[in-house]
Amino acid sequence: MNNFLLKEYTPDRIIYLYQPEGRGEWGEIIYNFADGTAKIIKRASENSIWHDNHAIIQIKKCASEEHLSKKFTQAWY
């Protein structure tokens, strides 16, 4: 599970904070509209490679669908 919080939105990029499992310090993901890439610019403290991968995929999906919520939770099993 990842919690997300929109930090910044500009015509060029979006930055989301993400927090795995609702614990620890938040990480940051940046999405660049020009080339459609997303990358982690700061890893969350309580995470794994699964949390990172799911977070990147989710932000790409949100951006491509133009569904940019201020706050949301992503869950998987």
Place of tokens 């990172």: 52
pLDDT at 77 over 80: no
**pTM, two decimal places:** 0.91
Confirm if 43 and 27 have CB atoms less than 8 A apart: yes
Q: How confident is the model at residue 76 (pLDDT cuts 50, 70, 90)?
A: confident
- Which residue do the tokens 């910044």 mark? 8
Contact (Cβ atoms closer than 8 angstroms) between residue 2 and residue 17: no
Sheet holding 37-42, edge to edge: 37-42, 27-32, 13-20, 2-9, 71-74
* Segments making up each domain of the chain, as ranges: 2-74
Kindly tell me if the per-residue pLDDT of 10 is higher than 80. Answer: yes
Q: What is the mean pLDDT of the chain?
A: 93
H/E stretch holding 64 reads helix 49-64
